[in-house]
A and B are shown apart, each in its own frame.
Chain A
Amino acid sequence: MEKTASDEIVEVQDLYLNFYTYEGIVKALDGVNLNIKRGEILGVVGETGCGKSVTGLSILKIVVPPGKIEVGKVTFNVKGKSYNILDLNEPTMSKVRGRYISMIFQEPRAALNPVYSVGYQIGEVFQHHRREEIIKTVIEQLKGEVEKTSGFKRHICKIQLSLYERMLKNPKSLRVRLALKTPILKRFQNRMKTEIRNRTIELLKLLRIPDPERVIDMYPHELSGGMAQRCVIAMALVAKPMLLIADEPTTNLDVTVQAQILVLINELQKELGSSILYVTHDLGVVAELCDRVLIMYAGNVVETADVMTIFKEPLHPYTQGLLESIPRPGKPFTSIPGVVPGLINPPPGCRFNERCKYAMDICWKQKPKLVEVAKDHYVACHLYSGGK
């Protein structure tokens, strides 16, 4: 694989991930390799339980027990440097999450906290990731006001200005901490809060939420599914991340709402130039949105290629099966026989062997490697070990 450091934003190499359950060890990811290029939309497709979502979670290092990342490397290239995400400590990761890589979850209502208004929740991300920028804007505003006003008001503005400047320089200084605790004095924060509120409203407008001034004070249960999903997308976009991981963002939504969200994601991607890792099981959505596709099966990447190639000449039997199971009028429904094997005792060799109609002896003995059969077209299948 040819690689140029600046071309790829995230590279996952030989990632192994297990879940330690009572029934045994679930080998959820079995040597996953993938790379996400700058400014592309990469679709990850597969059936339930094939490790799509977990791959997304591993990139953000938010795999929770009983899941555990065993070995592997997640390289994150930013500003000319590369980091291995799996080696970074938690405080650093919390800066990366949301700012450089953010995630949209499948169930918008589960992703939002029911006891806070959406405005508060979006504002929290502003507080966390764009605090300095906001303080700077407030300082600018205050400086302008100091010049304009006079008397007592000017005096207050000056105090506030000094507090904000201190906050920018050393947010943990005693004076700032005291000011934050003292009644009346702590009102100096209001300027920052207003600024955040204005920015949140702007963001909601960008996401085409009707009447954002009203929506900002609503609670998640008052919103429809599409609106809630848009608020979650807003949260993910606060810091204009370089990589957006979208984990089936439209699965539970209606087709009309899905179409709205897809158009929105497409537009935002063009505007911000971020990369998107789009996890889905809907091939229609992939055809509509993605530049490149990654097909996963039972914890393995079985095929990757650009979207045209995948739909025109799929090589892996599983990809072919997936494409054939799209219902088309006038044709009988075809399906892949069998089900995804349990990953506690996955079949030896290629994990697809039980369901594959081309299965050979070697498929039960040796795990196929991901080989390049054409330019940027990788397949993991013994059928193509000697090229196409």
Chain B
Amino acid sequence: MESLMTIENLKKYFPIYGGVLKRKIAEVKAVDSVNISINKGECFGVVGESGCGKTTLGKTIIRLLNPNAGHVYYKTPKEIVEAIKYLEKNNPKSKALKHLLREYDIAYVKGRNLKKLRRHMQIVFQDPSTSLDPRMLVKDIVAEPLVSQGLAKGGKVRDRVVQVLEMVGLSKTHLYRYPHEFSGGQRQRIAVARAIITNPEFIVLDEPTSSVDVSVRAQLLNLFQDLQKELGLTYMFISHDLSVVECISQRVAVMYLGKIVELAETAELYKSPLHPYAQALFASIPVPDPTKRKGRAPLYGEVPSPVNPPPGCRFHPRCQFAMDICGREEPPLIDVGGGHHVACYAINKKE
């Protein structure tokens, strides 16, 4: 399968300033050494508890945040990725490497090139009531990416706006209204219209259904699926609602404290999660079937602070299978077969 986005060793740390001189005293390791590759045309789900770095990951790969380290390749030819790897290893200070990174790596692209890239990558934010400017008309909100990218002018802008509004299930009559006149579901549709107006290939959906009701949620999810088929989009679907991710994604990554602990095909992951954290996470989804009540033992304890994550495997203080090695060394993300990746020593030993 063709890979659209390749993310290598991506790191994003947020500094914490303190003391009298407001110097950097610590870092929040929001995303720490993440490696994923997103295939063309798929919906890649990212799940995890709040504060595990899902949103930061989504924002970093489309350069809404500047990563501290790592590479993000968007449709980069294999030869160039390999050339970069080779140069990094052998000649990390060469001008050629710098040039290649600036040209091909989203993490290093600057200025005009970055702006050009933006039209291919869009995002739909979590809460449409805060992501839409309350003082702008719908037609201006939706047209903004088009105008700022210089893709259309004059009457064509309006035509295109009407076209995308119709694609998301709104109509011409909504052009001259303000966001507050819409319901939550419709507002999210406006946000989607704004995202697809530049004909992007990749869209990050950052918890797009968390602020709407169940019945509206289904409408939105249908819209996402229809648009994906129609426009050949690739999604990164970030959510903490595991049941939604199960239905919409082909592959899912489970994050815990800035790290990916498990990555697999959706059906396989939901059927047999391997990582103890993923197991606990899936076991805590309430099943809408009263005949299947589980007498469950929930995961106790709290997510540790990402400022001082536990050494070794970050889950080991809460893990029931923790061994000596878990507290010392970080488990690598290993393929256990069929594209099922797990970062856990207990599993790797068994295999």
Residue numbers of A with Cβ under 8 A of B are 47-48, 208, 210, 224-227, 254-260, 262-263, 281-288, 307-308, 311, 321-323, 325-336, 339
Contacts and interface: CB of A to CB of B under 8 A. Distances in A.
A52 B43 CA distance: 35
Contacts of A262: 286, 298
Contacts of A307: 290
Max chain B C-beta neighbours (<10 A), residue from A48, A307, A311, A335: A335
Q: How large, as a class, is the contact surface on chain B? A: 35 or more
25 contacts: A47-B214, A227-B302, A254-B240, A256-B280, A256-B299, A257-B49, A259-B284, A259-B299, A260-B298, A260-B299, A263-B296, A263-B298, A281-B213, A287-B289, A308-B291, A311-B289, A311-B290, A311-B291, A325-B214, A325-B217, A327-B217, A329-B246, A333-B219, A335-B217, A339-B185
A284 B49 contact: no
Contacts of B64: none
B91 interface: no
Contacts of B247: 327-331, 333
Contacts of A321: 215
Nearest to A260: B298
Nearest to B50: A254
A49 to B, nearest CB: 9
Contact of B246 (A259, A288, A327): A327
B301 A210 contact: yes
Given A224-B303, A226-B302, 10 more contacts: A227-B302, A254-B49, A255-B49, A256-B298, A284-B243, A284-B285, A286-B288, A308-B290, A333-B247, A334-B218
Interface of B: 49-50, 183, 185, 213-219, 221-222, 225, 240, 242-244, 246-247, 266-267, 270, 280-281, 283-293, 296, 298-303
B252 to A, nearest CB: 12
A335 B219 contact: yes
A339 B240 contact: no
Nearest to B302: A224
Given A227-B302, A260-B299, A327 B218 contact: yes
Contacts of B49: 254-257
A322 B217 CA distance: 11
A331 B283 CA distance: 22
Given A224-B302, A333-B247, A322 B281 contact: no
A335 B225 CA distance: 14
A321 B217 CA distance: 13
Given A327-B243, A339-B185, A333 B218 contact: yes
B287 A336 contact: no
Contacts of B293: 287-288
A151 B245 CA distance: 73
Max chain B C-beta neighbours (<10 A), residue from A47, A281, A323, A329: A329
Nearest to A50: B213
Max chain B C-beta neighbours (<10 A), residue from A48, A262, A326, A327: A327
Contacts of B300: 208, 260
A329 B244 CA distance: 9
A226 B299 CA distance: 13
B273 to A, nearest CB: 13
Nearest to B222: A333
Contacts of B215: 47, 321-322, 325, 335-336
A307 to B, nearest CB: 5
B291 A259 contact: no
Contacts of A328: 247
B265 to A, nearest CB: 12
Contacts of A263: 296, 298
A288 B280 CA distance: 16
Nearest to B266: A329
B287 A284 contact: yes
A255 B214 contact: no
Contacts of B266: 329
Nearest to B212: A48
A257 B284 CA distance: 9
Max chain A C-beta neighbours (<10 A), residue from B286, B298, B303: B286
Contacts of A322: 214-215
A254 B303 CA distance: 11
A322 B266 CA distance: 25
A286 B302 CA distance: 24
